[in-house]
Amino acid sequence: MTKKDKKNKDLDHKKLTFAYVPGTTLIHRLNPISKLVFLILLTVTIFFIKSLILLAIIAILIIVLALLSGISFWNLIRKMRFLIPIFLISILLNIFFNATSADDIVLFYLFGLPFLPIRRLAVYYAFRAFLFVMILYTSALIYTYTTSPKDFVYSLMRLRIQYRYCFAFIAGMNYIPRIEEEAKTIALAQKARGFGLKKANTVKKAYKLVTERMVSTLVSILRKGHTTSISMENRCFGVYKERTNLIEVKYKKKDFAFIIMCCLIFTLILLYIFGLIPLPPIPSLYELFFA
C-alpha cells in the first residue's frame, strides 16, 4: 500500500463514527487496558454525581481530551451531531413524564398554557441525562479512535484470557465501523438509482427506503460474517489452547502511572460527592440563576 492510499484510508476512517485512526498522541501510546480502566472509573463515577455543574465540567474535560487525542473540532462536532435530537427528545420525555409533583417549583408554562408547566426537577433530569450521554459517548469515541483492535486483543491475552474469547469479542467490535461503512455504501447505491432521501417525500416511501437500507445492510453483514467464519474454520482456529503471537503489547511505566492517577482523581471526586472532604458544596444552577 502506497503512502497516498494509506492517507486516503485514514481519511475514510475519520469519517466513520467508531473507527481506529493511527496517531502519535499520548492517548494513542497508552495501553488499551489502562484506557479501559479509565472508562470504567469514569462510568461508575458519573452515576454518583448529581451536580449539573460538576457534570458539565467533566464533559468539557472529556471534550478537551478528545481534541488532544487527535480528533479535530469539526470532526468531533460531526460525530456528535445526532446527540441534539436525543437531547430534545430527552427534554420532552422528562418534562411530560417526570417531576409531575405539584410541590416542585414551576419555572414557566410552555406556550403560556397552565396545563403545560415546566418544572425545575424535569429540566434537571433532562440536562443530567444529556450530560450522561455526552460524556459516555465522547469517551467511547476517544477509546475507539485511539485504540487498535489488535492491540486490545493482545492486551487481553496478556491478562491470561483465552485467545478464543478475545478474538470473538474483537471480531464483534470490528463489525461496528464495518456496518456503518456498509450502510453508507448502500445509501450511495440507492441514491445512484434515484431513490435517495429527497425522493422519500411520503411516509410509505420513507418506510420503504429505511426498510430496504436496513435489510440490505443486514444481508451484507451476514455474508461477511459467514465468510469470516469459513476462513477461521479453514485455518483451524481454536484447535490449540495456547498460541504464540508476533506482536507483544507490554505494560509500561506510563500505563501504571496513568491508572494510579485515574484511581486517585476519581476517588477524590467520590469522596467529595459523599461529603468526606471538607470542601464547600457546588451550588446548583437554580441557586445561581433563579435564587
157 and 284 assigned to the same domain: yes
Query: What is the per-residue pLDDT for 231?
Result: 80
Q: What is the band of 100 on the pLDDT scale with cuts at 50, 70, 90?
A: low
Are 150 and 42 in a shared domain? yes
pLDDT of residue 18: 63
Show the cell assigned to 240.
490449540
The answer to whether position 5 is within a domain reads no
Whether residues 55 and 97 share a domain: the answer is yes
Q: Please tell me whether residues 129 and 214 are part of one structural domain.
A: no
Confidence band for 236, pLDDT divided at 50, 70 and 90: confident
The confidence score (pLDDT) of residue 4 equals: 44
- Mind listing the pLDDT tens digit for each residue in 178-222? 777 777 788 787 777 776 666 666 777 777 777 877 888 888 888
45 within some domain? yes
Residues 263 and 129 in one domain: yes
User: Quick one: which of 129, 103, 131 has its CA closest to 117?
Assistant: 103
- 229 and 289 fall within a common domain: no
Does 280 map to a domain? yes
Lowest mean pLDDT among 155-164, 216-225, 258-267: 155-164
Query: Could you give the number of structural domains in the chain?
Result: 2
Integer CA distances (angstroms), 165 to 1, 160, 168, in order:
31, 11, 5
Structural domain range at position 137: 10-161+249-291
Question: Which ranges in the chain belong to alpha helices (H)?
Answer: 3-15, 26-29, 32-46, 52-68, 73-79, 83-97, 120-146, 149-158, 163-192, 203-234, 253-273, 285-289
pLDDT at 42: 92
Instruction: Band the pLDDT of 10: cuts 50, 70, 90.
Output: very low
Among 199, 222, 240, the domain-final residue is 240
Residue 118 sits at φ, ψ, to 5 deg, of -100, 105
Q: How confident is the model at residue 101 (pLDDT cuts 50, 70, 90)?
A: low
Q: How confident is the model at residue 263 (pLDDT cuts 50, 70, 90)?
A: very high
pLDDT digits (tens, 9 = 90+) for 46-74: 988 888 888 889 999 999 998 988 888 88
In this structure, the answer to whether residues 28 and 107 fall within a common structural domain is yes
User: Quick check: 152 pLDDT over 90?
Assistant: no
Separation of alpha carbons 131 and 225, rounded Å: 35
The pLDDT-based confidence of 260 (bands split at 50, 70, 90) is: very high
Whole-number pLDDT of residue 8: 45
Tell which wins on pLDDT, 90 or 144.
Answer: 144
In a domain, 4, yes or no: no
pTM (2 d.p.): 0.72
Last residue of a domain, one of 202, 223, 240: 240
Same domain, 172 and 139: no
Count Cβ atoms below 10 Å from residue 38 Cβ, excluding itself.
23
Per-chain mean pLDDT for the chain: 77
DSSP state for residue 114 in the 8-state scheme: T
Regarding predicted confidence, which is higher, 29 or 166? Answer: 29
In a shared domain, residues 55 and 186: no
On whether both 205 and 104 belong to a single domain, the answer is: no
Same domain? For 90 and 187 the reply is no
